Amino acid sequence: MHIHILGICGTFMGGLAVLAKEAGHRVTGCDANVYPPMSTQLEAQGIELITGFGPEQTALNPDLYVIGNVVTRGNPLIEEIMNRGLPYVSGPQWIGDHILRDKWVLAVAGTHGKTTTSAMLTWILEDAGYAPGFLIGGVPMNFGVSARMQGDKDSIFFVIEADEYDTAFFDKRSKFVHYHAKTAILNNLEYDHADIFPDLAAIETQFHHLVRTVPGIGRVIHNGDEASLQRVLKRGCWSEKESFGRGEGMDWTLNEHDDGSFDVIFNGEVAGRVEWWLTGKHNRANALAAIAAARHVGVPVAQAAKSLATFESVKRRMEVRGVVNNITVYDDFAHHPTAIETTVGGLRQKVGKGTRILAVLEPRSNTMKLGAMKDALPGSLRDADLVFGYGVEKSLGWSVGAALSPLGDIASAHEDIDALVAAIAKAARPGDHIIVMSNGGFGGIHDKILKALAQ
């Protein structure tokens, strides 16, 4: 089958393209913006990319068009497809029908930590010899790709990052209802995606729909510290449940040590110890969830904990992009205030109080562009010594400078990337750590900062 993918350079659709190619299909695709790491990954797979959504692409005569949720009505290519009555389907439905149907699906849902937890779980299964397939919204460094069908022809296991964002312009259910998970992780749940959800209750309803798709022999592993998830589960759960967290009565909890390692405690007993380099309480929670999910498919807790010692994280999650003059530049995908706070807080824990952190932020997600979270930004950046914001007020509809003003003199805002880079380079001094946070390419700012520091 020849499939043509609209919106192919998104993390989900790019992974879908890789899976389709591995499954033996001919794959082509198009998108408006093409940038690494996804463009590099697709080109390495021999997948033809077309820039733009021109209606002339129907001349490719594919058997099926797979539509990403970036595509809206009015898009010239989708209008041509619809006018001509050509066959199309959403990405999540295609995955559910063609990749996941006969798999034991382990789905990782939550406002934060989906990508990292999915990568942890996949690595635990891989290290245990389960050779899982996976589709992750990032590139796990243990694998170098964001998706694969399976590591072994006999493997029935598939790990998928389960996003609550809507499926397509013609299907407003969350993506994850198409996956039919047997093992479901509910990592956390707070308000996000202000462009499609009016409030937290609306997102809780979507998570309730996810819980409804888990079979009775399945298992829901949930963050017991989250009141929102407690409300979701009170609406009905027909599967086994296990909780993780720091509160009383959790099935899974932990005991931390000064060196960053921690004991995994299951049903009140120490079951394993994780010794690794990652920082932050969010990563420890992610690890608990991944270990609990791996146990559901038979991986012993001690073995899962040991596997995490060789977990190499995910590209764009506290990824070191370079060190110049003893100044370290990181790239991170954080774009929600909670994620920003945990990212900067984790770095603070790593470097200590006597070392400066320079936080560079681009409010690029749809939620941030709408200004729904702008008032939470100052608090999320409190662990930084200097803050540099980027955003064109005319495009955003709100002022980044005004939003950051409660931080006082430590914060500045810029509408020109070159001016922003110059300001960062001028302020930086040996020993500093510069963390760049955006869910987009940010105009190649990481390389520009490194070049400016070198000069």
Residue at token pair 């594919």: 62
* Total residue length of the chain: 455
Neighbour tally for 110: CB within 10 Å: 25
76-80, 280-284, 449-453: least confidently modelled range: 280-284
Kindly give, in sequence order, each residue whose CB lies less than 8 Å from that of residue 417, ignoring residues fewer than 6 positions away: 390, 442, 443, 445, 448
Q: What is the pLDDT of residue 39?
A: 77
- Banded model confidence at residue 141, pLDDT cuts 50, 70, 90: confident
Residue 167 tokens, joined: 């499926």
Kindly give, in sequence order, each residue whose CB lies less than 8 Å from that of residue 205, ignoring residues fewer than 6 positions away: none
Query: How many DSSP H helices and E strands does the chain contain?
Result: 16, 23
Closest of 161, 155, 159, 147 to residue 22, by C-alpha: 147
Closest of 142, 233, 182, 449 to residue 324, by C-alpha: 449
- Banded model confidence at residue 2, pLDDT cuts 50, 70, 90: very high
Kindly give, in sequence order, each residue whose CB lies less than 8 Å from that of residue 428, ignoring residues fewer than 6 positions away: 327, 358, 434, 453
70-79, 85-94, 163-172, 312-321: least confidently modelled range: 312-321
Closest of 315, 229, 227, 302 to residue 263, by C-alpha: 302
Torsion of CA 34, 35, 40, 45, to 10 degrees: -30
The stretch 338-354 carries a mean pLDDT of: 86
Is the pTM higher than 0.75? The answer reads: yes
Q: Are 140 and 124 in contact (CB under 8 A)?
A: no
Kindly give, in sequence order, each residue whose CB lies less than 8 Å from that of residue 52, ignoring residues fewer than 6 positions away: 30, 32
* Cα–Cα–Cα angle for 136, 141, 146, rounded to 5 degrees: 25
Q: What is the pLDDT of residue 334?
A: 79
Please write the tens of the pLDDT for every residue from 238-255: 999 999 999 888 999 999
Please write the tens of the pLDDT for every residue from 67-119: 999 999 999 999 999 999 999 999 999 999 999 999 999 999 998 889 999 99
157-161 and 133-135 as β-strands: parallel, antiparallel, unpaired? parallel
Please write the tens of the pLDDT for every residue from 363-419: 877 767 677 778 888 998 999 999 999 988 877 888 888 989 999 999 999 999 999
The stretch 210-231 carries a mean pLDDT of: 97
Element (DSSP H or E) covering residue 82:
helix 76-83
pLDDT of 335 above 90: no
Closest of 109, 116, 163 to residue 141, by C-alpha: 116
Q: What is the pLDDT of residue 393?
A: 83
Report the distance separating Cα 120 and Cα 294, nearest Å: 10
The stretch 144-154 carries a mean pLDDT of: 87
Instruction: Output DSSP code: residue 100.
Output: S
- Give me the helices (H) in 89-173, please: 91-98, 114-127
Element (DSSP H or E) covering residue 66:
strand 64-67
End-to-end CA distance of the chain: 52
Q: What is the pLDDT of residue 317?
A: 77
Instruction: Output DSSP code: residue 317.
Output: S
What value does the CA radius of gyration of the chain take, rounded to a whole number of Å? 22
Q: What is the pLDDT of residue 160?
A: 97
Q: What is the pLDDT of residue 35?
A: 67
Element (DSSP H or E) covering residue 403:
helix 400-404
Please write the tens of the pLDDT for every residue from 21-58: 999 999 999 999 776 666 777 888 889 899 999 999 99
96-105, 290-299, 441-450: least confidently modelled range: 441-450
Closest of 98, 100, 99, 109 to residue 174, by C-alpha: 109
pLDDT of 313 above 80: no
Counting residues of the chain whose pLDDT is more than 70, the rounded percentage is 98
Q: What is the pLDDT of residue 418?
A: 93
Closest of 264, 270, 277 to residue 305, by C-alpha: 264
Torsion of CA 108, 111, 115, 118, to 10 degrees: -20
Instruction: Tell me the pLDDT of the chain averaged across its residues.
Output: 91
Q: What is the pLDDT of residue 369?
A: 67
Three-class secondary structure of residue 316 per DSSP: coil
Report the distance separating Cα 208 and Cα 117, nearest Å: 21
- Banded model confidence at residue 360, pLDDT cuts 50, 70, 90: very high
Neighbour tally for 63: CB within 10 Å: 12
Structural domains in the chain plus CATH codes: 2-90 (3.40.50.720), 100-310 (3.40.1190.10), 319-454 (3.90.190.20)
